Chain A
Amino acid sequence: MNQLPVLIIVLPLLIAPILLLVRDNRHVYNLSLGVSFLNILLILILFQDVYQNGNILYELGSWKAPIGIRLNADLLSCYFLLLINFMAFICLIAGNKTIKSQVEDDNIHLFYIAWLLCNVGFSGIVLTNDIFNLFVFLEISSLASYFLISQGNYKASSLAAIQYLFIGSIGAVFILFAIGILYVNTGTLNMTDLSNKIRSGSISLSMSLSIAMFLIGVGIKTALFPLHGWLIRTYSYAPSIIVSYFSGTSTKIGIYILLRVFLDIFNSINPLEYYNLAQLILFLSLIGVLLSTLYAIKQNEIKKMLAYSSVAQLSYIIIAIMLLTPDGLTASLIHVFNHSIIKTGLFLVVTVLFINNKNVSIGDFSGLGEKYPLLMSAFVILLLGLIGLPLTSGFISKWYLISAILQSDYWYISGVILITSFMTFFYAWLLIEKIYFSARLNHDASVATSYQLLCVYFLAALTIYLGVDTSLTFGISEQISNNFYSTINQ
């Protein structure tokens, strides 16, 4: 039996308590970096294996599937797994210096341990094939992330963390309730088994309650409009490196759960279509895109601006899913990958430049183009990716998004996408103007170390690379969505 799926979860989970004994900040950092590097190697091997031979099932403790817990590494899990662990690795490399200056000295080793646990939770969510296990991993990652957010050096950091704790726990309890109802109806917790047992005829009232509760829980996790308030607060007050990490992972996990629950577990009743839920979410997301882009223009603080832009981009992803066509799903998966890279890159630039993490306003960027020409050109490339100009990966996602929309029943939505893209251009231009055409201020932007800059350059290069060669993102996304829709149509 292939041991890779379980190793990816267990390895960091074992290392985390050992790090608690090590305590020395330098060693803890090196070890966690080493573990996440090892994890990426394992994931690459797993990915290749899954890509060639189909999905890998791993029965924990050799208990057979419906009774025991099973891990299921299919193409969708591997896609998200690679994304999450890659982001964790990049942010760990780039974060070392900023963590030293933002987190209290006594807490730094705990910070890395919580980071590892958070990543274990994320990896567990995407790998598990047991729906209760998904809840447990969700809570592991959430508890770790509440701690990580509370470690910011703002006065409001703990407040943001506790507010996120309340809303996150509400979401998790809704998911727990939904799982309970599913269990009553089917008598199983295994996802494959669940999707076999839920048949079109069996939509009862309790099943619709379960669907509604899943929707609320997942909606909170994905920051679905109007449940996005927590995202703005946590992104504004968390340590800046954690914001870079979460912008690429935490909400994407919500997208994964959405796909897994609504398109995999419920695939035979297809609740999104059956209850017209897709239309509802589509229009909510449309309002979300418009409003959050407007808010992003209004913000003077760069982290808040990027947070609102995250809500808008997540709404694009959700809109693409809610078209309920294979093309839409492909577009959304492409955008998940591309947006993670772009947004993590943008937040990393802010992290790297402003180590003290005080409220960074747009004005603080004045004249930085002169001072750091290379870093700022990387920043501009990432911004152009956010707008979706040609030759960047953002263009590829927008292209597939719009062509998917035009082929669906909702062709008129493409107008909204175009308008909001222009609005994105507007706030990106505000930044570009400050960077290149404003007089230099006496600001406190600091010089970053070379390997931090390397991470930013790497992400910017990746943005261009994925805008030219789409075989990784498009090829795999298309295969995943074809798999999904071939099972639905059966």
Chain B
Amino acid sequence: MLFVLNMILFLLGLFIIIRESNLIKKVIGLNIFQSSVFIFYLIISKVDGGVPPILNDDQLIYSNPLPHVLILTAIVVGIATTSLALALIIKVKQKYNSIEEHELDKI
């Protein structure tokens, strides 16, 4: 069930990037798109009844920490991408005075 919801989020993000003409909305779509994959990594790392992997004598079942670490890296990459995209959008706006893609293509 979770995977299905996740796939819906994934396709939704992709749809927004392709369909939207406003560049800011496209960035939002890109964020949703990326987040869906981050959530996918979190889903797969969860173990039923698992606790955070902190060394402790009583608990033996813990969630897989590796995907969390991987996603931490991927989130950083995502932030960098978003900020670079926003910076580029500012430059586009300065040059064209518009951020609607269908208007930009005409100029």
Chain A min CB distance to B22 (Å): 12
| Residue-wise interface mask of B (39-65) relative to A, using a CB-CB cutoff of 8 A (1 in contact, 0 not) | 011001000000000000000000000
Q: B88: shortest Cβ distance to chain A, in Å?
A: 4
Contact residues in B for A162 (Cβ distance below 8 Å) = 23, 85, 88-89, 92
Q: How large is the interface on A (under 10, 10 to 19, 20 to 34, 35 or more residues)?
A: 20 to 34
Number of interface residues of B (CB under 8 A): 28
Closest to A176 in B: B37
Q: How far is the CA of A146 from the CA of B85 in the complex (A)?
A: 9
Tell me if A183 is interfacial: C-beta within 8 Å of chain B.
yes
A103 at the interface (CB under 8 A from B): no
Task: Provide the residues of chain B in CB contact with A439, threshold 8 Å.
Answer: none
**Are B30 and A166 interface neighbours, CB within 8 A?**
yes
* A-B contacts, CB under 8 A, total: 65
- Tell me the minimal C-beta distance from B69 to chain A in angstroms: 9
Q: A159-B96, A177-B10 are in contact. Are A165 and B77 (CB under 8 A)?
A: no
CA distance A136 to B10 in the complex (A): 20
Chain A 134-155, CB-CB to B under 8 Å as 1, else 0, gives 0110010001001100100001
Selected from A135, A166, A180, the residue in CB contact (under 8 A) with B40 is A180
> Is the Cβ of B81 less than 8 Å from the Cβ of A143?
yes
- Which residue of the partner chain, among B17, B30, B77, contacts A139 with CB atoms under 8 Å? B77
When distances are taken between beta carbons in the complex, the residues of chain B under 8 Å from A161 are 88
In the complex, per-residue mask of A170-209: 1 if CB is within 8 Å of any chain B CB, else 0:
1001001100100110000000000000000000000000
- Is B8 an interface position by the 8 A CB rule? no
B106 CB-CB contact with A under 8 Å = no
The B interface is mostly helix, strand or loop, or mixed, namely helix
Does residue B19 face the partner (Cβ distance < 8 Å to A)?
Answer: no
A180-B37, A180-B41 in contact; A139/B95 too (CB < 8 A)?
no
B91 with A165: CB separation less than 8 A: no
Kindly list 18 other residue pairs between chains A and B, CB separation below 8 angstroms, not including A143-B81, A161-B88, A170-B30.
Answer: A136-B73, A139-B81, A146-B84, A146-B88, A147-B84, A155-B96, A158-B92, A159-B95, A159-B104, A162-B85, A165-B81, A166-B17, A169-B34, A170-B33, A176-B37, A177-B10, A180-B40, A183-B67
Interface string of A113-143 (1 = CB under 8 A from B): 0000000000000000000100110010001
B14 touches A176 (CB 8 A): no
* B45 to A: closest C-beta gap in Å: 9
* Given A146-B84, A165-B85, also A177-B77 (CB < 8 A): no
* Cα distance, A158 to B92, chains bound together (Å): 6
A169 touches B81 (CB 8 A): yes
List 10 tightest A-B contacts by C-beta distance, closest first: A158-B91, A162-B88, A139-B77, A158-B92, A177-B37, A184-B44, A158-B88, A176-B37, A180-B41, A159-B92
The reply to whether A170 and B92 form a contact with Cβ atoms under 8 Å apart is no
Q: Evaluate whether A165 and B33 lie within 8 angstroms (CB atoms) in the complex, with A155-B95, A177-B40, A180-B40 already known.
A: no
